[in-house]
Amino acid sequence: MVKLAGGAELVEGAALVVGLGIPVAAGAVIATMLNATVAVHRRNDRLAIDGGYEYPLGMAAAAVILGFTGAGAASLDATLGLTHPSLRSGCLVVALGLAAGFGVLFSRAAA
């Protein structure tokens, strides 16, 4: 799971930096941070300084915002004409992230 999460974070982080595939990358960030919050940080206090879930929830919230707004005019998505942010696309990003995140969590519980 560590290799999968690390690889996902590397790919989604690179995609977010250049602004390519923002809906998929934002969904992957939501899934990864949901998994990190539930599997690792929830047993600690809520603040990040105590190893809590504040930071992963903040990252997930930022990904939700990107899902609804897109990456902006300077992104590769905008340059290539690949994105048209809307309420519908934002809801799809959130649904994709939650489905993937809970899928990973349930597969961990089954193992």
Integer CA distances (angstroms), 92 to 35, 49, 56, 64, 77, in order: 19, 32, 20, 10, 17
pLDDT of residue 20: 92
Answer yes or no: is 25 within a domain: yes
Q: Render pLDDT for 17-42 as a digit per residue (tens, 0 to 9).
A: 999 999 999 999 999 988 888 877 66
pLDDT greater at residue 109 or residue 96: 96
Q: pTM of the entire structure?
A: 0.86
Residue 26 inside a domain? The answer is yes
How many structural domains does the chain have?
A: 1
Q: Is residue 72 part of a domain?
A: yes
Give the angle subtended at the CA of 21 by the CAs of 19 and 25, to the nearest 5°.
Answer: 90
- Confirm whether 69 is domain-assigned: yes
Residue 111 covered by a domain? no
Which range marks the domain in which residue 47 is found?
A: 2-106
The closest of 20, 18, 102 to 60, measured between CA atoms, is 102
For residue 98, tell me if it sits in a domain. Answer: yes
pLDDT over 80 (residue 107): yes
